[in-house]
């Protein structure tokens, strides 16, 4: 795929590198890369892949921008609050580099759509923040033979590796089984310093570029970790377990990761309201989201839920919701761990309202 004169000027600092050159830049232009998750990791990945000239970028996310995102999700600003992340990201990336194509998928990846979506791309970048999505992406990439560039963050720490590259180890070779529910708190629970997703995201983008141009040593079978407080980098090796290379079907990943949660539909909720059932309706979104749109639930943001556990009643049915139904699942896990049983997730959250 040939470069135009304007592209030759734009990518000059790449082209004069012996390891890239004009041929390498043309490979980047022809590349098709899907980034799953447009949050703390996805934002720096997307910004630098777009700037590098990756010709075809896919963005998949089902969330909207909230104020608490702005501390680290550098594609967004205050005027984007409440908007679809993929829609905002697509607009800004196309403005950043008019020579690339950006496809936005405002959806939740699951076993019914992941294979068809990933099959259209050369490399998959995992910028998700939950174990069910990571196992889903891994298994789909193994089935399709796609490399998976993985990153994760925790407080002041981060790690990056590449799975399934040239028949190398997979996510399951490093993490055979998901942790027990509640064993690994999320960034919503314990926080993350804003620069760590940036550092890890840039390392992920670097691995994508290396794979496409065929240069350097890929982090396949190697886990790079960083502790930003001590500025210690470590590189660990791990081996392929052959049994993880033969995946024939996708599973129910929420159940696999301990998220087998009871759900209630919009219609069922409305029937409960009409029958005047005595229940608690809890909204675990952020205050800015609640102000934008709400259905009268009691606002208890997910990050404050543990401190407000006393506000929940074990004598009532509790229905928890967010925008899409994902944050509310995390909230329900916390409630279940604290002895609450009659708890339901509002299926699809406010998306059906």
Task: List, by residue number, the catalytic residues.
Answer: 187, 322
CA dihedral 271, 272, 277, 283 (to 10 degrees): -150
33 forms beta bridges with: 57, 123
HSE (CB half, 13 Å, CA atoms) of 201?
Answer: 27
CA 18 – CA 21 distance, rounded (Å): 6
Strand order through the sheet with 148-154: 101-105, 56-60, 32-36, 123-126, 148-154, 157-163, 222-227, 232-237
The token pair at 37 is: 């998750």
Is residue 37 a contact partner of residue 29, using CB atoms and an 8 Å limit?
no
For 60, 141, 186, 242, 262, the CA distances from 284, given in Å and listed in that order, are 23, 32, 15, 42, 17
């Amino acid at each position: 795929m040939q470069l135009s004169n304007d592209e030759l000027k734009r990518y000059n600092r790449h082209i004069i590198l012996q390891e890239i050159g004009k041929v390498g830049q043309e490979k980047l232009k022809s590349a098709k890369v899907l980034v799953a998750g447009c949050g703390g990791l996805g934002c720096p990945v997307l910004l630098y892949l777009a700037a590098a000239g990756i010709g075809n970028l896919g963005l998949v996310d089902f969330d909207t921008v909230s104020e608490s995102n702005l501390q680290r999700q550098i594609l967004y600003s205050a005027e984007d609050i409440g908007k679809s992340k993929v829609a905002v990201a697509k607009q800004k990336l196309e403005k950043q580099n008019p020579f690339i194509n950006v496809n936005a998928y405002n959806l939740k990846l699951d076993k019914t759509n992941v294979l068809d979506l990933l099959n259209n791309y050369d490399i998959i970048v995992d910028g998700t923040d939950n174990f069910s999505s990571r196992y889903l992406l891994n298994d789909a990439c193994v089935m399709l033979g796609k490399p998976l560039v993985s990153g994760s963050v925790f407080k002041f720490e981060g790690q990056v590796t590449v799975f399934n590259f040239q028949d190398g180890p997979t996510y399951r070779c490093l993490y055979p089984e998901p942790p027990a529910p509640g064993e690994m708190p999320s960034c919503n629970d314990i926080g993350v310093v804003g620069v760590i997703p940036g550092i890890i995201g840039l390392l992920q983008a670097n691995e994508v570029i290396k794979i496409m141009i065929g240069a350097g040593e890929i982090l396949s079978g190697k886990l790079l970790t960083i502790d930003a407080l001590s500025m210690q980098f470590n590189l660990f090796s791990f081996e392929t377990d052959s049994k993880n290379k033969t995946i024939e079907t996708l599973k129910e990943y929420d159940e696999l990761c301990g998220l087998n949660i009871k759900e209630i539909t919009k219609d069922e909720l409305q029937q409960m309201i009409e029958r005047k059932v005595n229940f608690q309706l809890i909204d675990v979104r952020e205050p800015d989201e609640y102000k934008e749109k709400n259905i009268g639930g009691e606002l208890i943001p997910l990050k404050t839920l543990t401190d407000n556990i006393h506000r929940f009643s074990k004598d009532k049915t509790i229905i928890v919701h967010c925008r899409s139904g994902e944050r509310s699942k995390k909230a329900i896990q916390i409630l279940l761990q604290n002895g609450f049983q009659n708890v339901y997730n509002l299926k699809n959250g406010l998306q059906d309202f």
